[in-house]
Structure 1
Amino acid sequence: MAETAIAAVLSKFGELAVSEAKILLEVGDNMTLLRDRLEWLQAFIRDADRKRRAGTDQLTRVWVRQTRDVAFKAEDTLDEFIYQVDLKSQGYRCWKKVWRKYLTGFCTQILSRHALSARIKSINTRLAKISENQKEYNIGHTPLAPVTSSTTATSAWPDDAVGFDGDAMKLRQLLLREDHQRQMFISILGESGVGKRTLVEMIFQEVDSMFDAAFWVVVPADSTVDFVLERIYKMGLEKLNVQPKEEGINDISERVRRLLAGKRYLVVLCDIPSKTMLSCVRASLPDDNNGSRVLLVLDTEYEEVAWHANSMNNQEGFNGIHMLSRLDEKGSGQLFRSRAFRREIVCNDGSKEDSMMMTNNMVKIVYDITGGYPLAIVVLAGLLRFKERPGQWEAVLQQLRPGPRMEEALLVQGGDGEGNKQITEEVVQSTSHANLVSARTTAIERVFWASFEDLPNDLKSCFLYIAAVPKNTVCPANETVLAWIAEGFIKPQKGKTMEELGHNYLKELVLRCLVQIHKTNAAGGIKKVRVHPRLHGFLQSEAHEAGFMEVHDMHHVFVPPSVRRLSFMSLGGRYIPFTNKFPKLRSFICWVDKEQQHQSNDSQDTNSKKHGHDLKFLCGSKFLRVILVHGLMIEKLPNKIGEMIHLRYLGVECKDLKELPSSIKRLLNLQTLNIQKTQVEMIDPGFWKIRTLRHVLAEKLTLPETIEEELGELQTLSGVKPAQGGEWKGQKCALHRMPNLRTLKLHGIAHEKHGPALKSALTKMHLLADLSLQGDVIPSSVFTAPSLRFLQTVELDGNVEWPEDGWDGSKVRPNLVYFNPRRNTNEMPQHIREEFDKIIPKHKAGLHEIPINTQEVQVILVED
């Protein structure tokens, strides 16, 4: 994985050139030499990584590690230089103390350039020595088979449990068994990657309506019984649409019993780790002889939990354990067809595309490669969807198939044609490497590696970044994409915004079956994604091995100072502060479960609760680009955060946060500020002078009456309100300085003070797609302004000035897909209701949001 390190360095050359070209004059030759050497190394390093994974070539392993270390050193050198350039060129005129502190030893620009030149010369010298070692120790390079990605993968695949018809039937029978009305515990047991959750999700959707309450709980590692019961209780309140009435009852177990008493419920529990926890959960669930069910989804390592659950059924001769096995050859072929091919297309000769391509021999090859694991089959299908048929398919399958049966593998089309028997030297050589790897790894891991290696370098870094998210955690799509942009993983393209490119990257990962859509937004775009636990473990292992990211929890908190990205996660609520500094850190991501964080602090003394946690240990991390913190007890951020000039993404979703330091105005490279779920209401006025701002996401942040700079890059302004008592004055209104907004979510509007200025500003927002307004009066320009033709989603809360009769919504709002008037909105006129019925018939005049099924969403994504 040295290639991702090299890719990171190469991306910095563009940033450096933009920063200040004149300063590069004296070091230009050395820079060019460094860039050229790294580009050559990047071409060789992917093959070396294959050998490293095989574990059979220690010399190659050393060579890869040394190359990666030099790439890291080069990145540090360039970041240090960019840091100095930013200090000089981006205007810290009044910041004399910090100027002196960070420019000590750099008396003039000439000295600064000489220092950079010397360091780059040293790096070039070391790279030259590494190249000599490669030749001296005869570390060879084998070109890989030409299996570059194709752009023909353009259609969706079904989201059903193909190949598990018999298992699905048995599970339905167990859940809906009428002759056993007592509470029943059912267990789905199987290896990781065998399709347990896919099967259960399909059945869950079918039987959901047959229970008074049905909910799904993933049990995180190290969670407590109270945590699991709290999840069940909160989901139960939501499903049953009731308000909590047990305010005087502290025992969560008793609250769950009272909530579900008399109800027919279905509880799905994934990964419950012990018999003890299961017994406690059972004691909290009422048994009212009404057909309630508890369904456990367990890996085979927890088989004893399944047998313990079966013993709770107290029915002689009854077996509530269903063992889910890998697919046979026929089932593997069915699943592969459903994922790898587009919907059946009838060709000119009358044949069907998938049956034409999928012979029995190819089915056998797929089965040999994947071992019948559904997860491996799906990922392999996702890989091949990006390949040209038949040539690239043959090369990929040959590389992955274990054993030397090369010629047989290539004859996937059948027949004796000479074209089918031609095997290039590159394929033969690359196959030998694949076989070395396959001898030491599982079928799933082989497919993971092949799919991962096929990713372009920038997309590879994006995918690795998801390792920062805790296992079994749903990942917000926008948050992920904005972090990728902040890290510099997204390559700019003319005619597209970085956000559009980032979401295209995410869509490609979905199409490759490496991530799965969990939830879509009202416009049909990806809102949340998740990664299979087995694939998540692979990501964390690769991220650690490559030096890309360190992932730690409360059981593993030793972190070397040289770490470049750090993810700390604690779903048990305990947070351990770090005592050492991290001078090389680029990203700090922290996931602490909010509920347990506050529960655990209830047992601490008042003084400890008062102080909570802080992020002072990050003050020495001047290269930080991303800070993303969920759930910590933080009331304020350190004032020195303003010294982190590289910072692009600052996200602190912590409900105790009340204020931001004034130094935040110094973050002149900041792109995203995310303070949702906080109590922050005010921010230093200088913050609104940061021209690089692209997204401001808040809860109740006060928007100034006017701002001086035009924020031409700003796309998202969410969770803001006008200053209390303030008045917006025409063209001086802050919104007039934000002409390129795509998302605006504004509340607290007073029509008398803000209405005219808001109406005027909306007429200039030609790119606005998502609009949410709350106030005493909502202007009719929301419906009539010609500028708002791009609007896709609208949410209104207040007295709406509805357009007059004759309003033609299909002409003025052709892109509208979602309209939601809140409960405080006045009654919608009949002619408006009829227009909405024409524009968005699926949403029944927009009165309720109707979920779009995953298959429809995927088709939308692909055809977009």
Structure 2
Amino acid sequence: MATPFPRDNIGDAPVGFDGYLRALENHLLSHEHTPQQRFISILGETGIGKSTLMLTICNKIIKDHENHFDKLIWYNMPPNSSANDLLKQVYERAPDKVPSEGEDTDITKKLRSFLHDKRQQKWQQSGAYLRALETQEVAKHADTLNKKVDADSKNISGSTIQLGRLNESQSAELFCRRVYGYNYTKPRGYKVSYNEQVFKITGGHPLAIVVLAGLLRSKEMPVEWDSVLQQLMPGVEAGESQGNKIAGVLLTKEKPFEWDALLQQLMPTTEAKLSNRMTIERIFSTSFDDLPHDLKSCFLYFAAYPTNITHPADQIMRMWIAEGFIKPEKGKNMEDLAQEYLKELISRFLVEVKYRNECEKIELVQVHNRLLRFLQSEAREASFIEIHDNTDVLAPAAVRRLSIQNDSGNYIPFGNRFPKLRSFICRVEEGEGASATPDLKNDPKNIPRKDPLKFLCGSKFLRVISIGGIHLAELPDAIGDMIHLRYIGVTSCDLENLPSSIGRLLNLQTLDIRNSKVKIIAPKFWRIKTLRHVIAAQLQLPNSVGELNNLQTLHGVKPAENWGGLTCPLDMMTNLQSLELHGFNDANHGVALERALQKLELLGHLKLTGDKIPSSVFTAPSLRYVESLVLDGDIKWADNSSNTSNYSPEVALGICELRPNLTVLKLNSVSKELEEFIEKIRPHLTVYECPTRTDA
């Protein structure tokens, strides 16, 4: 069985990897009957294509050799992770795992029990290198990981693949693919000299080639191309700059011994590497400087997060909107404009698409680690954001955006006040990282909880709060005084209460508490007219709400009361585009729900969980924009259409015409008659899931 692997945002075969792919495939599929574990390291400088190579071989193994392995697992290992983190992820991601007997928490024993007599392929991505491990018993490798035994251990058969840079022809091929597409044709006016210039500028470094292509694809050829390429060509300025740096280092050394040692290190090979590194940074800088001001601010926002992080696209775009980076345009809503901004960054190859959902919408994005380090440097230089690991800030009065990043799990509230703060972004790993203390690793609940956000009370201009990893049971009551707040995102599973003062946040656009235990919010919250997105898990939706004409997303809610009569709170949210409702029943909510659904003409995603699902999800003409239907419950058809087997092809075609955009249909169960009906419209679907069938 195969677990889903990340999706590449390019979609074509990588350039210059044929030999590496053959070698990897041979290593992974050979020695089938050997008792030794296979441990393969892929080495190379940052941006050389290690992740791309690993992703390509993963997809190839799934496509051509899936039956060769019992389990296929991908794990992107964050920096400073421990061996125990790795083993936990392998166990949690393994499909069809059987829980260990008793209360034993030893991950090694769990894996040994689960993987007994199984052949597993594990793909691990970690920092500057990638590793692929084939083993019959991964649990046996636990001690090897913890003790960092070398690859020539008697229990491990190891191989190393070293990636190099592309040659001139390969560089030209990659460059043209990124500028013109996979099946490209060079336009008239394309100079042969461009190939040589691209190679000289990038040194055959794949990431540099891709970013350069993203920069030039929006430029006019040949005038603007010639100007940019001439500007980036390695020349006298770079050499002088490098010479000055070397001279500065020499002045700090004692002569002659230390001079001789340093100059020996700076022989031509090392000098070339320094020059290449400087040239790549110049490409990044030129591409960054070419961005419009608003788009530059959006890109800088990624600097608030650590490396190796994938970002939910909708969350990052909502924060852009809350910050005011997205400028309104007549006839377009803010989310559509934010989507255009994101796509522009993607088209310039500054942001990667890591995953698209079943409707082909961008769901996860990421900035390459090397680009991110450059971006964080730019953000600090421009005083755009302060990035800390939970230490005191030197000049809190001037800080506009504050990012907390650490993997210790030890969050210590600040003693400072931040009067000009606009955004607070916190990502604290829950005590599993290498820098975590033993107490935190054994009990993450030791993380301090007392008033962890008290220091924000003086930040009257705060617009964005995004928190992950802190164990919060509640938010401070003073949050109601932060009247400029537009975005609140808290992922804590411990969050149970929101203060009643949240109803005073009259500019609030997004409340994202999707993992929380919050069930009730103050009634005034449901009258905030600026609300655009409410994402929860078990939030009660009261009968009395204000006119929420701006609300587009409502997830994780259930009716707080019976919906008597013909009206319900959904009637006040007629511009909803995504709705996930659960906990309703036909007797108390059915009639009002069916009538309300017929008014939601902009709905694109609908997920319903209840005893009876109204048939209007299929038949209401107003729901023609629905792309995704996820239904957990029996479909309630009208009496005159209960015999679904009598549906003619013409009627089925009519249903398809009513749902021309429907591509995803997921049903928890379906009767035999309904299954026959679904079969008539199934050819129009790209995803159809129905695990069980009930013969009702």
Report TM bin, short chain: 0.7 to 0.9
The answer on whether the counterparts of 2:203 and 2:276 sit within 8 Å (CA) in structure 1 is: no
Question: How far off its partner does 1:256 sit?
Answer: 2.3
Cα-to-partner distance string for 1:290-316 (whole Å, 9 max, x where unaligned):
xx9x99xxxxxxxx98xx64323668x
State, as a whole percentage, how many aligned pairs show the same letter. 45
C-alpha contact (below 8 Å) 2:423/2:463 kept by paired residues = yes
1:386/1:158 Cα in 2 relative to 1: closer, same or farther (>3 Å)? farther
1:823-852: CA deviations, max 9, x gaps?
5x5556244222332321x33x4448xxxx
Looking at structure 1, the residues matched to 356 and 499 of structure 2 have their Cα atoms a distance apart, in angstroms, of 35
Q: Distance in 2 between matches of 1:800 and 1:331?
A: 56
SS in 2 for 1:518: strand
1:608-627 paired onto structure 2 within 5 Å: 611=449, 614-627=452-465
Counterpart for residue 786 of structure 1? 621
Choose the corresponding residue for 1:544, options 368, 374, 380: 380
Partners of 2:420 and 2:194 in 1: CA distance: 48
Q: Which residue of 2 aligns with 1:673?
A: 511
Please say if 1:658 is aligned against 2:496. Answer: yes
- Equivalent of 2:194, from 353, 359, 362? 362
Instruction: Write the distance in 2 (CA, Å) between the matches of 1:697 and 1:284.
Output: 41
SS of 1:325's equivalent in the other structure is: coil
Q: Which amino acid in structure 2 is aligned with residue 393 of structure 1?
A: W
Give me the TM-score of the superposition, normalised by structure 1.
0.68
- Partner of 1:819, secondary structure, is strand
Q: Select the structure that is richer in helix.
A: 1
Show the counterpart of 1:839. Answer: 684
What amino acid is aligned across from residue 379 of structure 1 in structure 2?
V
Matched with 1:812 is: 658
Match of residue 270 from structure 1: 125
Question: Are the structure 2 counterparts of residues 243 and 729 from structure 1 closer, same or farther at C-alpha, using a change threshold of 3 Å?
Answer: same
Classify 1:577/1:224 alpha carbon distance in 2 versus 1 (closer, same or farther; 3 Å).
farther
Match of 2:246 in 1: none
Cα distance change of structure 1 residues 600 and 485 upon mapping to structure 2, 3 Å threshold: farther
Change (3 A) 1:576 1:759: same
**1:166 to partner: Cα distance:** 1.2
Matched residues in 1 for 2:14 and 2:673: separation? Answer: 43
* 1:371 is aligned to 2:203: yes
CA distance in 2, matches of 1:654, 1:828: 44
- Specify whether residues 171 and 235 from structure 1 end up closer, same or farther in structure 2 by C-alpha distance, changes over 3 A only: same
Q: Where do 1:149-164 residues align within 5 Å?
A: 158-164=11-17
For 1:763 and 1:776, the matched residues in 2 are separated by 20
Q: Is the 8 A contact 2:553 2:576 kept in 1?
A: yes
Relative to total residues, which structure has the larger strand share, 1 or 2?
2
1:794, distance to aligned residue in structure 2 (A) = 0.6
* C-alpha displacement of 1:357: 5.5
- Unaligned runs of 5+ residues in structure 1 are 1-155, 296-303, 346-351, 406-437, 849-864
Query: Which ranges in structure 2 are unaligned for 5 or more consecutive residues?
Result: 1-8, 238-273, 692-696
Verify the 8 A CA contact 1:798 1:826 in the aligned structure 2: no
* RMSD between aligned residues: 3.0
Give the alignment partner of residue 312 of structure 1, picking from 143, 153, 156.
153
Aligned amino acid, residue 256 of structure 1: L
Aligned to 1:744: 579
Distance 1:397 1:602 in 2: 51
Q: 1:650–1:673: 8 Å Cα contact kept in structure 2? A: yes
Q: Provide the secondary structure at the position in 2 that maps to 1:320.
A: strand
Partner deviation per Cα, 1:376-414 (whole Å, 9 max, x = no partner):
111111112222223222222122112279xxxxxxxxx
Q: Is residue 2:38 matched to residue 1:184?
A: yes
CA offsets, 1:351-392, max 9 Å, x none? x435x5555421110011111110111111111222222322
Deviations 1:402-452 (A, max 9, x none): 2279xxxxxxxxxxxxxxxxxxxxxxxxxxxxxxxx979623211111111
Q: Label 1:256 to 1:628 Cα distance change in 2 as closer, same or farther (>3 A).
A: same
Identify the residue that residue 170 of structure 2 maps to in structure 1. 331
Q: Does 1:250 align with 2:89?
A: no
* Counterpart residue number, 2:56: 202
Q: Distance in 2 between matches of 1:786 and 1:273?
A: 53
Q: Deviations over 1:96-150 (max 9, x none)?
A: xxxxxxxxxxxxxxxxxxxxxxxxxxxxxxxxxxxxxxxxxxxxxxxxxxxxxxx
Report the AA paired with residue 691 of structure 1: K
Q: In 2, distance between residues paired with 1:545 and 1:642?
A: 33
Aligned partners of 2:173, 2:636: CA distance in 1, in Å? 55
* Residues 1:218 and 2:76 are matched in the alignment: yes
Alpha-carbon offset, residue 164 of structure 1? 1.6
CA shift, 1:343, in A, is 4.7
1:174 aligned residue: 27
Amino acid at match of 1:388: E
In 2, the alpha carbon distance for the partners of 1:682 and 1:161 equals 51
Contact 1:623-1:646 within 8 A present in 2 as well: yes
Q: Matched residues in 1 for 2:673 and 2:405: separation?
A: 47
Map 1:22-101 → 2, pairs under 5 A? none
Q: How many residues align?
A: 623
249 and 282 in structure 1: CA distance in 2 versus 1, 3 angstrom threshold: farther
Hey, what does 2:186 align to over in structure 1?
353
Once the 2 structures are TM-superposed, how far is the Cα of residue 631 of structure 1 from its aligned partner?
Answer: 2.4
Q: What per-residue deviation string (whole Å, max 9, x for no partner) do you get for residues 600-653 of structure 1?
A: 5474698x5694663111111111100011121000010000000110001111
Matched residues in 2 for 1:273 and 1:404: separation? 32
1:654-803 mapped onto 2 (5 Å cutoff): 654-707=492-545, 709-723=546-560, 726-730=561-565, 732-802=567-637
Query: 4+ residue stretches of structure 1 with deviation over 6 A?
Result: 281-284
AA of the residue aligned to 1:737: M
Higher RCO structure, 1 or 2 (CA under 8 Å, sep 6+) = 1
1:341 equivalent in structure 2 = 180
- Structure 1 position 319, deviation (Å): 6.6
Instruction: Tell me, yes or no, if the aligned pair for 2:400 and 2:420 is still in contact at 8 Å.
Output: yes
Contact map agreement 2:354 2:364 (CA 8 A) in 1:
yes
Q: CA deviation at 1:157?
A: 5.1
Is 1:635 aligned to 2:473, yes or no? yes
- Over 3 Å counting, the alpha-carbon distance change for 1:694 and 1:600 in structure 2 is farther
1:394 and 2:233 correspond? no
TM-score (norm 2): 0.84
Instruction: Give 3-state SS (helix, strand or coil) of 2:364's partner.
Output: strand
Match of 2:335 among 474, 482, 499: 499
1:421 aligns with none
How many angstroms does 1:572 deviate by? 3.5
**Whole-angstrom distance in 1 between the partners of 2:85 and 2:394:** 28
Change (3 A) 1:679 1:749: same
Q: How far apart are the structure 2 equivalents of 1:393 and 1:801?
A: 62
Q: Determine the C-alpha separation between the residues in 2 that align with 1:612 and 1:828.
A: 57
